[in-house]
Amino acid sequence: MKAVFYDVNPVEKLYFPQILTGYELALIEEPFTSSNIDPSAEILSVRATSKVSAEVINSLPGLKLIATRSTGFDNIDLEAAKLKGVPVVNVPAYGEETVAEFTFALILGISRRLVDAANQVKLHRNFETDSLQGFDLQSKVLGVVGTGKIGSHVIKIAQCFGMKVIAYDAFPNVNLAHELNFAYVSLEDLYKTSDMISFHVPGRKETEHMLNIDNINQLKRGVVVINTSRGMVIETQALIKALDEQLVSAVGLDVLEEEQQLKDNQADQSIQGLIDRPNVILTPHNAFNTYEANQRILDTTVENIKAFMANSPINLVS
């Protein structure tokens, strides 16, 4: 069985050959693109940053399994995989704490002007503090959109900071709200009352542009917007307009609709301009990336492949 892994990091390069003995392995450092397809792949393993389109799926004659090394699977054409009879498996949970901690890295990075402060000293040996004033999290209202595995950890951390939490979810978890002492509100009310908003929903048709040009005016003036979920959840042009109009005071993004274009150096000027703004922190889809989370991703991926080979697949997505 030939297993082809894309977006392989140095740890994976050592790990997979040790654990997946008996497989023919190809370990490719670059993300999967139409120009580096290995047509002999029987098992295809990618990360969230590799797009697996219908065209690609249909160009792999021996493909038997797609194993994404991520929770999200919006990068894979599930319909095309289904039509070809190729199951798709994912890593349903590996780092809810990991991504929640990163969410707070972005929140604190903004509230305490961490990037500016560090750069001022590192690049200019400037120790002046007048221009670096931040704000407290204590007593601020955090609106959490999506109260699943990651969102619920974000709520727990927020409460340690003394923040007030409100939340929106298409499928409210009443027990969770009771246990963690927060209230569910409508999305509109969340937009109207939150000082900070953090998105933790899956990337799907129903969550596309939850924040968009038509509803951005509902936001409380001066709100901070954080997104570590999927780029498609926020319409970037709406965010740019809101930053221009100072409706949004700052954003922390680990994901962006145009992240692929940015990587390929094909993003338009307005997106390049977004990155250069002092009140924008953009990170390269890196919230998952800790030693411990990576290890859990590897272990689950190996279990996924072995279970499939033993005819009892686990972690199937539909």
Q: How far does Cα 31 stand from its chain's mean position?
A: 16
Q: How far is the CB of 171 from ligand NAD (least distance, A)?
A: 4
What distance in Å separates the CA atoms of residue 62 and residue 59, rounded to the nearest whole number?
Answer: 9
The piece of 12-20, 33-41, 114-122, 165-173 that touches ligand NAD (CB under 6 A) is 165-173
Q: How far is the CB of 231 from ligand NAD (least distance, A)?
A: 10
Closest CA to 192 of 168, 226, 170, 228: 168
Helix (H, G, I), strand (E, B) or coil at 152: helix
Bridge partners for 68 per DSSP? 46
Question: Vertex 9, ends 146 and 232: CA angle to 5°?
Answer: 30
Out of 47, 113, 285, 297, the residue judged to bind ligand NAD by CB under 6 A: 285
The piece of 16-24, 128-136, 197-205, 256-264 that touches ligand NAD (CB under 6 A) is 197-205
Positions marked catalytic: 230, 259, 285
Is residue 68 within 8 Å of residue 187, measured between CB atoms?
no
Give yes or no for residue 31 binding ligand NAD (CB under 6 A). Answer: no
What residue type is 89 in one-letter code?
Answer: V
Give yes or no for residue 200 binding ligand NAD (CB under 6 A). Answer: yes
DSSP 8-state secondary structure symbol assigned to residue 231: G
Q: How many residues bind ligand NAD (CB under 6 A)?
A: 27
Is residue 57 within 8 Å of residue 86, measured between CB atoms?
yes
Out of 45, 50, 68, 71, the residue judged to bind ligand NAD by CB under 6 A: 71
Give yes or no for residue 149 binding ligand NAD (CB under 6 A). Answer: yes
Give yes or no for residue 257 binding ligand NAD (CB under 6 A). Answer: no
Which residues of the shown chain bind ligand NAD in the complex (CB under 6 A)?
71-72, 96, 99, 146-151, 169-171, 200-203, 206-207, 228-230, 254-255, 285, 287-288
